[in-house]
Amino acid sequence: MKIQFILLFLLISNVVMAQDNTNLSEEIIINEFIEGTLLVPNAIEKPNLVIIIAGSGPTDRDGNQNFLKNNALKKLAVGLSNRNIATFRYDKRVVTQIKKGKIDKNILFKDFITDAISVLDYFKNEARFNHIYVAGHSQGSLVGLVAAKDKADGFISLAGAGQSIDGVILEQITKTAPMFREEAEKTFVVLREGKTTDEYPKALEALFNKGLQPFISNWMSYNPQTEIQKLNIPILIINGTKDLQVTEAEAELLHLSAPQSKLQIIENMNHVLVTIEGGTLENSKSYNESARTLSPEIFEAIISFIK
């Protein structure tokens, strides 16, 4: 009887492992700055690969920051891999630096592009996948736009801005603190020339402090509408109607600049790719609610695009 119980236990264990082991998970170090997780579906010999690039701030491979844990990018990666599309998601270099206690205060926006290109080159050299797609979320959309040129087989923008970053910020200032718009515009004029300044609204210190100005200046030099026109590959642009940070109008700007692209507006999806039925309070809270599931339409859109 005891032997029968052990055999039954082993049989059940093997079944559970087989059910959970639909994807091969592999931790990969691309270089000193980039570490990430590769998920490869076991059922496909040479699957397509989607490289997922995170948004602004110290965002890790799962889409999380210190006090905001929604696992949006992890859920996107797992969901795609469960649907037979391999995924690679990675920590931004600033996250790696924080972990190692060696933060580079001179980091620029172009460094994120360099990292994305390194990831693309790594997997292209491996020749392990059929086609390679880049999916950039928020700030990562612009990073991916630039990196994908002449390297990727397709590009996916997830909640990516259509204006350069100064335009996006000025729009937000106009909505939330219009009394600072004129001063902010003057600050951006200086930054656009590659210079720094002490003349900026002190109430916006977190945005315009002198240590951050070179980064913003470098970021401003990349215009999404210009960069998307350089792509000669299939393009999918996705945005949600409940996105508090990037409106549908931004996605439409990208689409207008690349008429060959496919535009997918998902009803009630917000910036962290989940469905919001209520108002702003529910929307804001969802940024720190990892139990929420992603909008199913996002998987439909991406799979349809890749197929």
Q: Kindly write down the DSSP assignment for every residue of 133-166, as one continuous string.
A: EEEEETHHHHHHHHHHTTT-SEEEEES--SS-HH
The pLDDT of residue 105 = 86
pLDDT in tens, 252-278: 999 999 999 999 999 999 999 999 999
Q: Mean pLDDT throughout 95-116?
A: 92
The pLDDT of residue 18 = 32
Percent of the residues in the chain that have a pLDDT greater than 90, as a whole number: 84
Name the pTM for this structure: 0.90
The pLDDT of residue 307 = 87
- At residue 4 the predicted structure's pLDDT band, cuts being 50, 70 and 90, is very low
Q: Mean pLDDT throughout 144-158?
A: 98
pLDDT in tens, 176-196: 899 999 999 999 999 999 999
- At residue 66 the predicted structure's pLDDT band, cuts being 50, 70 and 90, is confident
What is the torsion angle, in degrees rounded to the nearest 10, for the CA atoms of residue 251, residue 188, residue 184 and residue 64?
50
Handedness of CA 198, 203, 208, 209 (dihedral sign): positive
| Torsional class of 44: left (φ above 0), alpha (ψ -120 to 50), beta (otherwise) | beta
The pLDDT of residue 59 = 95
- At residue 85 the predicted structure's pLDDT band, cuts being 50, 70 and 90, is very high
The pLDDT of residue 15 = 33
The pLDDT of residue 217 = 96
The pLDDT of residue 44 = 85
Phi/psi of residue 44, each to 5°?
Answer: -115, 130
The pLDDT of residue 111 = 97
**Environment class of residue 222 by beta-carbon count within 10 Å: exposed (0-12), middle (13-18) or buried (19+)?**
middle
The pLDDT of residue 19 = 34
CATH domain 22-54+67-163+224-306 topology: Rossmann fold (3.40.50)
Mean per-residue pLDDT over the chain, rounded? 91
The pLDDT of residue 102 = 85
Q: Where are the domains of the chain?
A: 22-54+67-163+224-306, 165-221
Percent of the residues in the chain that have a pLDDT greater than 70, as a whole number: 93
Pairing, β 35-41 against β 86-90 = antiparallel
Which range (12-21, 69-78, 168-177) has the least confidence?
A: 12-21
Q: Mean pLDDT throughout 24-45?
A: 94
